[in-house]
Structure 1
Amino acid sequence: MASIFEVLAEPRRREILDILRGGERPVGDLVERLALTQPTVSKHLRVLRGAGLVEVRQDAQRRLYRLRLEPLTEIDAWLAPYRRMWTDSLDALERHLDEMEDQ
């Protein structure tokens, strides 16, 4: 099974997740918004489902997909130290600019 990072390396899959942030969507809506064929969208959804990033619910003849946030905690945890580095760098820049302003 591919890691979440490998799954999200594909730009169209990230685009699907961005769309699903707005709420549950049927496959047809995703096909229309992405301007891809239905089989291509279904393939991406299958990969996203396998990684646990989306879940599907059957509603009569429609399959509705929604985002699952839990797996994204792995990415958030991985990014945390980089976020701290970024914040530290911005704080240092702010101090430097304040010092220049005082001079």
Structure 2
Amino acid sequence: MLSFDENQLKSVLIEEEGIEESKTSFIIENLKKLDDRLQETMDQWMKDRSISNFNVEGVDLKFIMEKGKVNFHNALTIMNAFLYDPNLAETYRKNPYAFSGPMR
């Protein structure tokens, strides 16, 4: 489970990410459930909005954000799935566009 200052994150989500306040609680609760291996990455982003080079099977957060056209918290959630299924990360690396479409 990740730990972070929930009030600070809520403020960042609203003021910097343009997330509606009504959606922030859901996002925060989901982020708290992510794997501890992502804690350092989350801490770094909370500190200065920099994005670490953390990767699974050659897929890093910047790649997910760019190819998936998602923001940091969504990329972190996707990375969490890759931690549990590295084959999924490898598939994403080879064809990230296969992950987009009506289900998004």
Larger Rg: 1
**TM-score, structure 1 normalization:** 0.30
> What's the TM-score once normalised by structure 2's chain length?
0.30
Bigger RCO (CA 8 Å, 6+ sep): 1
Task: Say which structure is richer in strand.
Answer: 1
